[in-house]
């Protein structure tokens, strides 16, 4: 990485820090320090692969990264830049820890606004202790709070994002994250997390489908598809109970009765999951989700990434799977107001359905 690139980007971040007010200085300071530590740890993948002292397993993974990175640019038409051409071992299980929060009687996620990224429904920390400390501050103010580890993050092209030790355990996870995070460099709408994450998830899923097809791994894709179906079923279970919470919070009941009703809904969610798990053993993998106390914040985070996925699937279908044309259409939609974006995406679904019906005759 050239020193001038780091310097210019760092100056930009420092200016953002200064413009954002004293209340955010400590937060931005940890963000700058945390990210610069990631960049300091980054080493060229080409250099590491050529180094005979590098662990053979790591060398094999990094060779796979090079192939995936080329596939992302050539086949998916994702940005062909220096992102994911370096590797960093952070010596920890997650890249960052995100804090999400809701009021005690609401499922609407609290938002934090930043100059460039816009408003987002989480606050990220490079230290778990810092994330938990901030979460405790929010709890003291009466918020429902959840802290979750995240294996990767995107700088939206400001820096050359490296591959991290936090997401190299499996080929699919590696491919998923590279495709997903590069998609954020294609389109990113300030203040619209659902739009951004649904788009990136579509690119991720389409990328994995094409990657596995190219490598003749149809059985692997079938298992991946089944895993996505299980995720959808689990999401629907949580969303149904989230809707019940929303109904409860909209009543004129006293806070005491709302609190009691909320506890009953969480108890029922656990009971319904137990029934699902007992009838279908493959849902055992979601047991860990219930290992922490349930609250509004935990339920509110479910399905954020996939809410608009059907619309982006329809858009890709209307472009006959052509990624360049798909990206161009999404970029145009991203320039619209939030209401206009929603209308355009709904129209895409309707148009794709009409096209599919017409194809039957």
Q: What is the pLDDT of residue 113?
A: 82
Mean of pLDDT values over 74-89: 96
16 pLDDT higher than 70? no
What's this model's pTM, rounded to 2 decimal places?
Answer: 0.84
Query: Tokens 């998609």, residue?
Result: 183
Confidence of residue 10 (pLDDT cuts 50, 70, 90): very low
Nearest partner of 87 among 152, 149, 32, 8, judged by Cα: 152
Q: What is the mean pLDDT of the chain?
A: 89
Give dist(CA 199, CA 154) in Å, integer: 14
Q: What is the pLDDT of residue 153?
A: 86
Give dist(CA 53, CA 60) in Å, integer: 13
Q: What is the pLDDT of residue 212?
A: 94
Give dist(CA 191, CA 334) in Å, integer: 11
Kindly report, residue by residue over 91-145, the tens digit of the pLDDT. 999 999 999 999 999 999 998 887 666 778 889 999 999 999 999 999 999 999 9
Kindly report, residue by residue over 195-215, the tens digit of the pLDDT. 999 999 999 999 999 999 999
Q: What is the pLDDT of residue 304?
A: 65
Q: What is the pLDDT of residue 194?
A: 87
HEC string of the chain equals: CCHHHHHHHHHHHHHHHHHCCHHHHHHHHHHHHHHHHHHHHCEEHHHHHHCCCCCHHHHHHHHHHHHHHHHHHHCCCCCCCCCCCEEECCCCCCCEEEEEEECCCCCCCCCEEECCCEEECCEEECCHHHHHHHHHHHHHCCCEEEEEEECCCCCCCCCCCCEEHHHCCCHHHHHHHHHHHHHHHHCCCCCCHHHHHHHHHHHHHHHHHHHHHHCCCHHHHHHHHHHHHHHHHHHHHHHHHHHHHHHHHCCCCCHHHHHHHHHHHHHHHHHHHHHHHHHCHHHHHHHHHHCCCCCHHHHHHCCCCCCCHHHHHHHHHHCCCCHHHHHHHHHHHHCCCHHHHHHHHHHHHHHHHHHHHHCCC
Give dist(CA 213, CA 305) in Å, integer: 24
21 pLDDT higher than 80? no
- Each domain of the chain, given as residue ranges in start order, spans 3-186, 309-358
Q: What is the pLDDT of residue 361?
A: 55
CA separation, residue 180 to residues 174, 278, 334, 344 (Å): 10, 33, 17, 22
Kindly report, residue by residue over 141-192, the tens digit of the pLDDT. 999 999 999 999 888 888 889 999 999 988 999 999 999 999 999 999 988 8
Q: What is the pLDDT of residue 13?
A: 44
19 pLDDT higher than 80? no
State what percent of residues in the chain have pLDDT above 90. Answer: 74
28 pLDDT higher than 90? no
22 pLDDT higher than 80? no
25 Cβ neighbours under 8 A, 6+ residues apart: 17
Mean of pLDDT values over 27-38: 90
CA separation, residue 349 to residues 245, 306, 309, 313, 356 (Å): 29, 15, 10, 8, 11
Q: What is the pLDDT of residue 2?
A: 32
Kindly report, residue by residue over 300-352, the tens digit of the pLDDT. 888 766 789 999 999 999 999 999 999 999 999 999 999 999 999 999 999 99
Kindly report, residue by residue over 211-250, the tens digit of the pLDDT. 999 998 888 888 888 998 999 999 999 999 999 999 999 9
């Amino acid at each position: 990485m050239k020193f001038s690139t780091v310097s210019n980007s760092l100056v930009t971040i420092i200016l953002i820090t200064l413009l954002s007010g004293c209340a955010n200085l400590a937060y931005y300071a940890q963000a700058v320090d945390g990210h610069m530590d990631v960049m300091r740890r980054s080493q060229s993948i080409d250099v590491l692969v050529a180094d005979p002292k590098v662990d053979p397993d790591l060398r094999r993974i990094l060779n796979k990264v090079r192939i995936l990175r080329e596939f992302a640019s050539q086949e998916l038409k994702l940005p062909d830049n220096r992102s994911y051409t370096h590797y960093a071992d952070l010596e920890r299980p997650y890249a960052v820890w995100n804090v999400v929060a809701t009021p005690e009687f609401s499922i609407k996620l609290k938002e934090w606004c930043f100059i460039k990224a816009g408003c987002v429904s989480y606050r990220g920390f490079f230290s778990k202790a810092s994330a938990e400390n901030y979460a405790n501050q929010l709890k003291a103010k009466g918020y429902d709070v959840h802290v979750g580890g995240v294996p990767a993050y995107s700088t939206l092209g400001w820096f050359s994002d490296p591959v991290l030790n936090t997401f190299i355990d499996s080929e699919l996870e590696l491919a998923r994250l590279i495709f997903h995070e590069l998609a954020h460099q294609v389109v990113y709408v300030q203040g619209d997390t659902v739009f951004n994450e649904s788009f990136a998830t579509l690119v991720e899923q389409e990328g994995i489908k094409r990657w596995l097809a190219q490598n003749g791994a149809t059985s692997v894709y079938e298992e991946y598809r089944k895993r996505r179906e299980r995720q959808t079923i689990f999401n629907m279970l949580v969303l149904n109970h989230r809707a019940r919470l929303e109904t409860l919070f909209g009543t004129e009941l006293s806070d005491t009765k709302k609190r009691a009703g909320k506890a009953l809904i969480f108890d029922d969610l656990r009971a319904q999951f137990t029934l699902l798990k007992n009838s279908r053993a493959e849902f055992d993998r979601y047991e860990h989700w219930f290992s922490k106390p349930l609250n509004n914040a935990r339920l509110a985070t479910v399905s954020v990434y996939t809410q608009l996925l059907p619309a982006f699937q329809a858009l890709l279908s209307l472009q006959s799977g052509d990624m360049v044309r798909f990206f161009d259409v999404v970029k145009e939609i991203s320039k619209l107001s939030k209401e206009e974006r929603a209308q355009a995406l709904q129209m895409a679904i309707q148009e794709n359905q009409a096209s599919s019906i017409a194809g039957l005759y």
